[in-house]
Amino acid sequence: MKIDGRLQRSLKTKEKLLKAAEKVFIEQGYQNTTIKEINKEANIGHGTFYIHFPEGKDEILTHLMNNVMDEFYSIADIEFTPNSKENAFEVIREQVFHFISLAEKYKKMLMIFYEGIGVSSLLKEKWEDILNKFIDRIVKDIRYSQDQSLAKKQINPEVASRILLYSGERFLWEIVTDKNKLPISEIADNLTHVYMFGLYKGPND
């Protein structure tokens, strides 16, 4: 489908603003970034910004969050159809490893999100929506494992999904804020082991 000239210009302007905003956020931090600075970087008039992002800098940051989180979602969307506990462990461990590894890849932008989530209700709500998407997918995977008699049926998928996600999220923010000292592979191994097998030995272990 052919895009008319006016729409094409509008899309180019929006993309220009997004690239400018990413650069300014990374250079200035969330608190110090202003719409004036973004407009200056994009070489675009003040009123044009609000045509595309009427709620201001928080709205443009949510768009940048979407761009970053698309890669995170691709991990959650990996097909999960294990035929054994060993196979399930391999898939989950790989997902956890890549999820946490992306903290290094997108460290600068995630730091901006971290700052923004602490002060903006819009960004906090957006982050909660992101986490809920992950929870829904993990719940689906757990139920599949329970249906295949690979996971204990008495475990509540809603609770188990949050244990895994919030543990991974904690390590993600520790990496972003330079508080983590552990290798990502070690984190992924331990999170997956505890998630799948628990901490304490059973009578047959």
**What's the pLDDT score for residue 106?**
94
Distance (Å, rounded) from C-alpha 150 to C-alpha 193?
Answer: 15
**What's the pLDDT score for residue 11?**
86
Nearest to 197 by CA among 148, 164, 162, 158: 164
Nearest to 168 by CA among 55, 42, 40, 72: 72
**What's the pLDDT score for residue 79?**
87
How is the chain split among helix, strand and coil, in percent rounded to 5? 75, 0, 25
Nearest to 82 by CA among 74, 90, 72: 90
Task: Give the pair of three-digit tokens for residue 193.
Answer: 């082991």
Q: Which tens digit of pLDDT belongs to each residue from 102-131?
A: 999 999 999 999 999 999 999 999 999 999
- State the DSSP H helix or E strand holding residue 70, giving kind and residue range, or none if neither: helix 57-76
Distance (Å, rounded) from C-alpha 70 to C-alpha 114?
Answer: 17
**What's the pLDDT score for residue 3?**
57
**What's the pLDDT score for residue 191?**
95
What are the distances in angstroms from CA 81 to CA 77, 86, 97, 147, 152?
Answer: 12, 12, 19, 11, 16
Distance (Å, rounded) from C-alpha 177 to C-alpha 22?
Answer: 18
Positions in the chain short of pLDDT 70: 1-4, 201-205
